[in-house]
């Protein structure tokens, strides 16, 4: 998760919970995804520090969660922003009931 967070410019020295909070505050994730990613970070911490060993199905699902986050934010999100820069702005419309005589 650290490499993902670096791409969205969040201090790598922060704890996972602080990084998730910042991702949420900056609009990269919402409440539901924050909860899901909290489960992911808790699972990683439990596996690394508390001897928890997920089964194959759990491991596969947790990897899917991480891959989906990376794909949504870094791949699709980045591509959408790149496309946005090439889309011409909408032309301003005249309001109904206005004319040049009205100064609009």
pTM: 0.69
Alpha-carbon distance 25 to 104, whole Å? 40
pLDDT at 31 over 60: yes
pLDDT at 45 over 90: yes
Query: Is residue 8 very low, low, confident or very high in pLDDT (cuts 50, 70, 90)?
Result: confident
Backbone torsions φ then ψ of 68, nearest 5 degrees:
-65, -45
- Over residues 27-43, mean pLDDT: 94
Sheet strands (E) in the chain: none
Query: pLDDT per residue over 50-63, tens digit each?
Result: 999 999 999 999 99
Backbone torsions φ then ψ of 28, nearest 5 degrees:
-75, -30
């Amino acid at each position: 998760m650290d490499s993902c967070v670096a791409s969205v410019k969040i201090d790598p020295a922060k704890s996972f919970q602080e990084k998730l909070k910042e991702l949420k505050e900056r609009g990269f994730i919402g409440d539901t995804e924050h909860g899901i990613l909290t489960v992911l970070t808790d699972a990683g911490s439990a596996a690394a520090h508390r001897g928890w060993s997920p089964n194959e199905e759990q491991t596969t699902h947790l990897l899917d969660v991480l891959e989906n986050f990376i794909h949504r934010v870094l791949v699709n999100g980045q591509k959408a922003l790149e496309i946005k820069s090439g889309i011409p702005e909408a032309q301003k419309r005249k309001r109904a009931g206005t004319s040049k005589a009205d100064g609009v």
